[in-house]
Structure 1
Amino acid sequence: MKDIVQASLPQGTLSGIRDQGVCRFSAIPYAEAPVGPLRFAPPRPAQWRGERDATQPGPVCPQLTSRLARVMGDFEAPQSEDCLHLTVWTPGVDAQRRPVVVWLHGGAWQSGAGALDWYDGARLARRGDIVVVAVNYRLAGLGWLCLPGETANVGLLDEEAAIAWVHAHVEAFGGDPQRITVMGQSAGASNIALMLTRKPLFQRAIMQSAGLGRGFRDAEQAAHLSRVFLRAAGADSLAAARELPVQALLDAQLAPDVVAALQAEGANRSLFYPAIDGDVVTRDIDAAMTAAAGRADVMIGYTRDEFAAFPGGGLDEDSRRKGDRTFALRSRQWARDAVDRGRQAWEYRFDAGYSREFGACHCVDLPFVFDTFDAFQGAPMLEGLAPAQARRISGDVQTAWIAFIRGGSPGWDVAPAQHLFA
């Protein structure tokens, strides 16, 4: 039975839903809608007041279909630039001060959303007696343009604004602002690494399949791609781009000139990617990343067959080597750097992939973390997975993740030892 439940914040009252022992508050604005003159601008704190209905999921950032839809399956959700929202799942709106985990989704900086059913945090919250928060942030051109004289990497600033909102308000949802873990996968995990080079409001991190081996894009190349992109969209300046319909910005991602410019880079990066702009992302990025590993206890890992998810990849040795270069080697180095700087670090590899085509590919771990196999029903990457296997492995994964989120060990030896999920 579902009941209405309320949370009181300084701004006003949120109405959410209690269902099977977990309260959910959806589409909570953590920043103003980034529209009109705020398109491409750094996030500004949300200004809502009074009573707010948080019972219904909100829209996701405008986006094209993910290139991994053939692996993960696809989703349908309303899209809007007014998407800087987060979702909170909590076992109780009370004074318990539970540990908190903030989820940052992946999607190559151009697809996905925290609001998707894929990342429903109810089971994780109930099983661990923790508060789970999932974040939407700006994607593609809306969040990751890099032009001289303008703020770059505003999608990263969105995520930081969301974490700051959680730090300020999570007590109203039964959470402890002093015990925040930030958890991300793929682009989300790489963004955690960048936040740790700055002034993080968290000291624990779970980094799943961070593609740190690709490095980050230098400002000159990022500016070149951004200029080509804006021309393809039909704008000769950022001011003109603020006037474009959002569909023009989406269509420009597929324009021949844009595709050619990205291919000419030859770095196997996404069109939109964090840029070393010298402001949000420091120019001395290698030294900063090494130092960043000393700012958080970490659980870090990757899947055995990462590259099998991507076009041209497979289960062959060459694909596995590419996956190791992109995901494994830098993840293991991060753990070593963390230990060297006095932090606790645990490594894992996720081998539980049963599809003959995709094996243990990029993203295959996600339904195990959230126990959301129903939302991933029909996903090709899960072909061959038996229900009993799903329950067993998901139970092992959630036990480890929850133990870490609650401030302890995931249950295996510290790095450089590596735990295998199979």
Structure 2
Amino acid sequence: MTTAGPCHPVAEAPVVRTAAGAVRGRMEGDLAVFRGIPFAESPVGQGRFGAPKPAQAWDGVRATNAFGPPPPQDASFQSESGELEVPTGDNWLTINVWTPDADAEARRPVMVWIYGGAYKLGHAGSPGYDAQHLARAGDLVVVTFNYRVGIEGFARIDGAPANRGLLDQVAALEWVQENITAFGGDPGQVTVFGESAGAGSIASLLAMPSARGLFRRAIAQSVPGTFFSDELARDIATEIAAEAGLPATAAALSTVAPQSLTSASQVLGARMRQYEGRWGQAASTVTPFSPVVDGEVLPCTPWQALQAGAARDVELLVGHNRDEWRLFLVMGGEVGKIDEKQAAWALRTFGPGPDSERAYGVAFPDASPSELYERVQTDWLFSRPSLNLAEAQISGGGQAHVYELTWSAPGYGGLLGACHGLDVPLLFGTYQADLGQLLFADSGVPAEAEALGVHLRSSWTAFARTGDPGWPTYDTASRQTQVLDVEPQVQPYPEEVSRQLWKGYDFPALPLLN
């Protein structure tokens, strides 16, 4: 100990030796925190658009008190109050650790967070991902990291491996296996968890041969159903490159500054609906990026892989929010403005078959056009893929726990419902950061939100420690589901009407139509 006065002891800054060199973090209360540790070389210069390479070793002790810079991304990376203050630079691939005890003998469970952001934005240093509450709630080690997004991470271009963002995730998990013991973690007790594109990434990791053995458990929150066929992904990348006046090759695109390419993808993203005849459902999403079923990095869709038993040894917790699409309705200013024509378009575009418009009308006879518009997009993009992942896991010989979040966010006068992203501030306890500023706008944080957040942290960390979040596993007979509300309870899966409508739909990789 050093001291700052006779009655105020200050803990020494913790030093840990990693495979690449020693790092010095700092004590934040009872946690040792390390930020911005390189887990791979900066993917610039000769390494641009390449697979990640291990970080080069360094001499001496490296200070790790600040998050690394975010990867190049969509300009919508901002808080509700304006642009986030983030570090700059090209050392995008860094990792962060919160630990109760940086002691190699501690062997605590490890939770590794993978952020969402439509595969086009995100940063582990976002205030909403402050992991201190989780680390304390579970007395475990929490890890977050950056991975490439957008063109740098997911565009399917010639001369570069597919799914570079997913390969970054594998590299981070390999770093955890090699180094986490020194931070007090147990490499045999690693749980990956993530939301939205982070959950889609986890679904991908479950299917990827290169990720086998890197984690024991997985928590997937609101899994998106969008995976691109190789042909579709190449066609989209060709159009993005054309916006920059270049061919879709690694050699050509490497000559352009990353932000210029990000701008090109934003221009295309704003007019994707023009390509509906060519790109089908993909043209009506909010992003031109998704994991690519390329046959090598990602051999098949996650549902196909799990049905074949690829992840039967991984314990899975998966679920979704009741009103996922409501967030996009509110943010797009569309609440109360959806007419029958728009609802009919959504049902035809996103429904599970050619008769979807009639089928949804029969199944939900009292629903308004806006409710049908929202319901089918919630089903197609998040709720059905999430449940299908659980059922595929069971079909392949594994087990899964299922949840649905039904508690409504108080922001915007209660219009948001149990919308997409609500689980993140509840889980991290970061109610006034990032998306939490919208979800809890002008309402403060109700006591029931605090209580539900404590419940989520308890369940998630218990699962990371034991594989049991506190409710029964899901099966196709009783369909027991944890419903997360003011009073959490276990009951048969609540969205049975939608489940029946989508029965037999396998969420194939989205095709190139012509």
Alpha-carbon distance change, 111 to 333 in structure 1, aligned in 2, over 3 angstroms: same
Q: In the TM superposition, what is the alpha-carbon distance from 1:217 to its structure 2 partner?
A: 0.8
Output the CA distance in 1 between the equivalents of 2:175 and 2:269: 39
Alpha-carbon distance change, 229 to 258 in structure 1, aligned in 2, over 3 angstroms: farther
Aligned to 1:299: 317
- Structure 1 residue identity aligned to 2:426: F
Q: In the TM superposition, what is the alpha-carbon distance from 1:316 to its structure 2 partner?
A: 2.5
Aligned to 2:376: 321
Count matched residues.
419
Q: Where do 1:169-248 residues align within 5 Å?
A: 169-199=179-209, 200=212, 201-212=214-225, 214=226, 216-236=227-247, 237-248=249-260
Structure 1 residue 86 and structure 2 residue 95: aligned? yes
Q: Are the counterparts in 1 of residues 68 and 91 from structure 2 also a CA contact under 8 Å?
A: no
> Which of these residues, 309, 314, 317, is aligned with residue 327 of structure 2?
309
Q: In the TM superposition, what is the alpha-carbon distance from 1:74 to its structure 2 partner?
A: 6.2
Which structure's CA Rg is the greater one? 2
Identity %: 35
Alpha-carbon distance change, 205 to 57 in structure 1, aligned in 2, over 3 angstroms: same
Q: Secondary structure at the match of 1:323?
A: helix
Aligned to 1:259: 271
Output the CA distance in 2 between the equivalents of 1:380 and 1:404: 29
Q: Secondary structure at the match of 1:4?
A: coil
Q: Are the counterparts in 1 of residues 401 and 473 from structure 2 also a CA contact under 8 Å?
A: yes
Q: Secondary structure at the match of 2:381?
A: helix
Structure 1 residue 38 and structure 2 residue 97: aligned? no
Aligned to 1:381: 439
Q: In the TM superposition, what is the alpha-carbon distance from 1:377 to its structure 2 partner?
A: 8.2
Output the CA distance in 2 between the equivalents of 1:220 and 1:113: 29
Structure 1 residue 407 and structure 2 residue 460: aligned? no
Aligned to 1:346: 401
Segment drifting more, 367-376 vs 388-397: 367-376
Output the CA distance in 2 between the equivalents of 1:82 and 1:103: 19
Gaps of 5+ in 1: none
- Structure 2 residue identity aligned to 1:204: R
Q: In the TM superposition, what is the alpha-carbon distance from 1:170 to its structure 2 partner?
A: 0.2
Aligned to 1:271: 288
Give me the TM-score of the superposition, normalised by structure 1. 0.92
Output the CA distance in 2 between the equivalents of 1:395 and 1:257: 38
> Which of these residues, 480, 493, 498, is aligned with residue 417 of structure 1?
480
Q: Are the counterparts in 1 of residues 240 and 268 from structure 2 also a CA contact under 8 Å?
A: no
Output the CA distance in 1 between the equivalents of 2:273 and 2:183: 46
- Over the aligned positions, Cα root-mean-square deviation in angstroms equals 2.4
Alpha-carbon distance change, 261 to 387 in structure 1, aligned in 2, over 3 angstroms: closer
Segment drifting more, 73-82 vs 159-168: 73-82
Cα offsets for 1:105-136 (capped at 9, x unmatched): 00001111112221111111112111000010
Q: Are the counterparts in 1 of residues 222 and 382 from structure 2 also a CA contact under 8 Å?
A: yes
Alpha-carbon distance change, 240 to 187 in structure 1, aligned in 2, over 3 angstroms: same
Cα offsets for 1:351-381 (capped at 9, x unmatched): 1223323211111110111112243486222
Q: Where do 1:55-134 residues align within 5 Å?
A: 55-66=65-76, 75-94=84-103, 95-134=105-144
- Structure 1 residue identity aligned to 2:246: A
Q: Secondary structure at the match of 1:18?
A: strand
Q: Are the counterparts in 1 of residues 77 and 83 from structure 2 also a CA contact under 8 Å?
A: no
Q: Are the counterparts in 1 of residues 462 and 469 from structure 2 also a CA contact under 8 Å?
A: yes
Aligned to 2:297: 280
Output the CA distance in 1 between the equivalents of 2:274 and 2:300: 22
- Structure 1 residue identity aligned to 2:64: A
Q: Are the counterparts in 1 of residues 79 and 435 from structure 2 also a CA contact under 8 Å?
A: no
Aligned to 2:507: none
Output the CA distance in 2 between the equivalents of 1:277 and 1:13: 38
Q: Are the counterparts in 2 of residues 30 and 46 from structure 1 also a CA contact under 8 Å?
A: yes
Gaps of 5+ in 2: 1-9, 336-369, 486-514
Q: Are the counterparts in 1 of residues 422 and 436 from structure 2 also a CA contact under 8 Å?
A: no
Output the CA distance in 2 between the equivalents of 1:405 and 1:379: 28
- Structure 2 residue identity aligned to 1:15: R
Output the CA distance in 2 between the equivalents of 1:317 and 1:73: 33
Q: In the TM superposition, what is the alpha-carbon distance from 1:224 to its structure 2 partner?
A: 1.1
Q: Are the counterparts in 2 of residues 359 and 381 from structure 1 also a CA contact under 8 Å?
A: no
Q: Are the counterparts in 2 of residues 193 and 289 from structure 1 also a CA contact under 8 Å?
A: no
Q: Secondary structure at the match of 1:126?
A: helix
Output the CA distance in 1 between the equivalents of 2:229 and 2:24: 44
Q: Secondary structure at the match of 2:25?
A: strand
Aligned to 1:366: 424
Q: Are the counterparts in 2 of residues 109 and 272 from structure 1 also a CA contact under 8 Å?
A: yes
Give me the TM-score of the superposition, normalised by structure 2. 0.77
- Structure 2 residue identity aligned to 1:202: F
Output the CA distance in 2 between the equivalents of 1:390 and 1:342: 36
Segment drifting more, 161-170 vs 405-414: 405-414
Q: In the TM superposition, what is the alpha-carbon distance from 1:58 to its structure 2 partner?
A: 1.8
Q: Are the counterparts in 2 of residues 300 and 335 from structure 1 also a CA contact under 8 Å?
A: yes
Cα offsets for 1:250-293 (capped at 9, x unmatched): 21013359834774323134211111212111157653242345
Output the CA distance in 2 between the equivalents of 1:308 and 1:88: 34
Alpha-carbon distance change, 220 to 336 in structure 1, aligned in 2, over 3 angstroms: closer
Aligned to 1:15: 24
Q: In the TM superposition, what is the alpha-carbon distance from 1:238 to its structure 2 partner?
A: 2.2
Aligned to 1:396: 455
- Structure 2 residue identity aligned to 1:307: W
Output the CA distance in 1 between the equivalents of 2:302 and 2:137: 38
Q: Are the counterparts in 2 of residues 347 and 414 from structure 1 also a CA contact under 8 Å?
A: yes
- Structure 2 residue identity aligned to 1:397: L
- Structure 1 residue identity aligned to 2:207: T
Segment drifting more, 294-303 vs 172-181: 294-303
- Structure 1 residue identity aligned to 2:101: G
- Structure 2 residue identity aligned to 1:147: I
Q: Are the counterparts in 1 of residues 31 and 132 from structure 2 also a CA contact under 8 Å?
A: yes
Q: Are the counterparts in 2 of residues 338 and 344 from structure 1 also a CA contact under 8 Å?
A: yes
Q: Secondary structure at the match of 1:124?
A: helix
Q: Are the counterparts in 2 of residues 187 and 210 from structure 1 also a CA contact under 8 Å?
A: yes
